[in-house]
Amino acid sequence: MEDLVAEKHVKYILSVEKKKDDFESLVLEHLRMNGAYWGLTTLDLLHKLGAVDPDEVISWMMECYHQDCRGFGGNIGHDPHLLYTLSAVQVLALFDRLDVLDIEKVSDYVAGLQNGDGSFSGDIWGETDTRFSYCAICCLSILHRLDKIDVEKAVNYIVSCKNLDGGFGSIPGGESHAGQIFCCVGALAITGSLHHVDRDLLGWWLCERQCKDGGLNGRPEKLTDVCYSWWVLSSLIMIDRVHWIDKDKLTRFILNCQDRENGGISDRPDNAVDVFHTYFGVAGLSLMEYPGLKSLDPAYALPVDVVNRIFFGKQRAPSLLAS
Amino acid sequence: MSSSDDDDERIPFIQRPEWSDVRPVPQDDGPHPIVPIAYHDDFRETMDYFRAVYLADERSRRALDLTTEAIGMNPANYTVWHFRRLVLEALNVDLHEERDFIDEIAVRNSKNYQIWHHRRWVAEKLGPQAADKELEFTMMILALDAKNYHAWSHRQWVLQSLGGWEKELDYCCKLLEDDIFNNSAWNQRYFVITRSPLLGGLQAMRDSEVSYTVEAILANPQNESPWRYLRGLYKGDTDLLVSDNQVSDVCLKVLKTNHNYIFALSLLLDLLCYGFQPSHELKRVVQFLGKTETDSSDANLATTICSILETVDPMRSNYWAWRKNNLPSQVC
């Protein structure tokens, strides 16, 4: 089997800094906060977080923070949004610098986005999606402020998005989709509500995502894509059914999506790489215990040692799969 | 990059007299950009002017036009969309015009979250009279990509909030005629028969839906969606699932073809676990498959099925092995 060209991926991520004038890059300006999370978490998984200066990152991040409403934008000068607030909190957790936050105010911002039916909006404009349920719950959990929301209502809303195939969609009745499933299962895991999941039924749906090329798709009859190595795999791990897929074949698929010359991972073999797929490919390999990588927590999408630090100082491993 | 005809004729903002009073604001990447991004001059200039009106909170017609240009260059920039909504509200613009604007840009950006969210915002404001146009719009997008998740979410929201259920089942039928493997269309079909106020609900629709689904299965037994749909029609009522002959019959029919029978076997396995008593014919067909596909011979039907599946669906052999080891005692 081909190897993971870890050094090349580190160089690729760090080189995004020095990227030439490129249209592809400029359209990502507004989601730089997500990009930072993907890039930095990948570096940490590859044991290279030390290549980045935390103070530089944090000073930029705090310029994305809105003093009035206390959320984070995707970049300096951008409006606050739940997606970027979660990424910011995750990055601060990576650096063990959550102390720079006014935790009460940030968690009030997040909690304020919960709607009457328990769902969450992404921002003041009201777009509702189970992705945002996950962002809010994950963020508040990291900040130890889950008590600021109505957890029961939040859980009930997520359960209302459960379909008869055991999967979850973005809204009630929405088609089951691996990305939405990760968000719902992750949120249920964090709130200790996994008993709402039919693990065998969902586990089967998830393992049916593996296709002949060894990769995973997100819905029946769709193409395989490296990012599903994260969403499907983390969901399977959270419900303790990951042994139902063929790990060797998936590993081979991910490794075939690498750009072995320039580093980075793409959605499928021989396509252009990006930081998003680089993160999900490395994350998927980590979940399958590929040698040389840090362990990744499937619910928080952060390295296990970071999650340990958040919840237990450095004392013992949390039992995140307790149902 | 959008390739509109205007690109060659674009006049830089610095040369436009109507913008001469504005000082553009450059992007502040912070002192040490960690993921700094290089820019094209046109884009840079447009965004510098956008930043100026945004910081000045100028909610004017020219600001609206500026957001149109910025969106044309980068439709994923959510801050531009936010500001556009503020300007639209301040100017009290006729939102029918806004809807036309979205029609134009949506086709090239059909997977863009911001555009769909903006569309919903406009539709909400226009109210129930907007239903037809919204259904037309999603139909247009789905004609290009029949599985577009955003389009389906929007369509479901339209039906539930604004109405328009009359032709939805027909629409699902048409999409499934185009592509019987379209899982989104199957999902929508389920959505319609369970939620439409115009149909009788799942109970009333079950028989006709079972017939429809069985036909789809027999045409392509390797199609995952109708098998899941079939189970869904019994909504967790395993007694009903077991007692309806149409369910076991379709499994038998597929098994007899000796081809693409994985889903048939898996449904039969579930039926057995729910207490289904198989006919002699079913047992015979499965045993025959068992002899041809596996080395082992096993009198137990459920165990035989698991063994066959371990062999013919090796990617999921761990799953089938687990099923074999977890058969209910009355089935062993």
Q: Answer whether residue A320 is part of any domain.
A: no
Q: Are A167 and A205 in contact (CB under 8 A)?
A: yes
Cα–Cα distance for residue pair B118/B122, rounded to 1 Å: 6
Structure confidence by residue, pLDDT tens digits, A66-120: 988 889 998 888 889 999 999 999 999 999 999 999 999 999 999 999 999 999 9
Q: Give the closest of B1, B30, B76 to A63, CB-based.
A: B30
Is residue B317's pLDDT more than 60? yes
* This prediction's pTM: 0.90
How many domains are there within chain A? 1
Select from A15, A26, A57 the residue whose CB has the most chain B CBs within 10 Å, as the one to mutate to test that interface: A26
CATH number, domain with residue A92: 1.50.10.20
Is residue A252's pLDDT more than 60? yes
Q: Answer whether residue A171 is part of any domain.
A: yes
Q: Are A119 and A132 in contact (CB under 8 A)?
A: yes
Q: Are A167 and A174 in contact (CB under 8 A)?
A: no
- Nearest partner of B60 among B97, B24, B27, B22, judged by Cα: B22
Q: Which residue of B has its CA nearest to A248?
A: B315
Q: Are B152 and A180 in contact (CB under 8 A)?
A: no
Q: Answer whether residue A42 is part of any domain.
A: yes
Q: Answer whether residue A318 is part of any domain.
A: no
B147 classed as catalytic: no
Structure confidence by residue, pLDDT tens digits, B255-307: 999 999 999 999 999 999 999 999 999 999 999 998 887 776 666 899 999 99
Query: What angle, 0 to 180 degrees and rounded to 10, lies between the N-to-C axes of helices A32-45 and A275-287?
Result: 40
Cα–Cα distance for residue pair A165/A175, rounded to 1 Å: 10
Q: Which residues pair with A121 in a beta bridge?
A: A128
Q: Answer whether residue A18 is part of any domain.
A: yes
Token pair for residue A68? 């009035």
Q: Do residue A79 and residue B79 have CB atoms under 8 angstroms apart?
A: yes
DSSP H or E segment with residue A273: strand A273-274
Name residue, tokens 């396995």. B269
Q: Answer whether residue A319 is part of any domain.
A: no
Q: Answer whether residue A321 is part of any domain.
A: no
Chain A residues close to B187, C-beta within 8 Å: 163, 169, 174-176
The pLDDT, as a whole number, for residue A125 is 85
Name residue, tokens 């109505």. A150
Q: Do residue A244 and residue B318 have CB atoms under 8 angstroms apart?
A: yes
Q: Answer whether residue A323 is part of any domain.
A: no
Cα–Cα distance for residue pair A62/A76, rounded to 1 Å: 9
Q: Do residue A74 and residue B79 have CB atoms under 8 angstroms apart?
A: yes
- Nearest partner of A153 among A173, A178, A136, judged by Cα: A136
Select from A128, A165, A288 the residue whose CB has the most chain B CBs within 10 Å, as the one to mutate to test that interface: A165
Token pair for residue B225? 């969606």
Report CA dihedral (B325, B329, B330, B332) to the nearest 10 degrees. 40
Confidence of residue A24 (pLDDT cuts 50, 70, 90): low
DSSP state of A30: G
Range of the domain at A165: 6-312
Q: What is the mean pLDDT of chain B?
A: 90
pLDDT > 90 fraction of chain B, expressed in percent and rounded: 76
Predicted ipTM? 0.89
Q: Are A233 and A242 in contact (CB under 8 A)?
A: yes
- Residue A15: count of CB within 10 angstroms of its CB: 12
Chain A residues close to B40, C-beta within 8 Å: 21, 23, 26
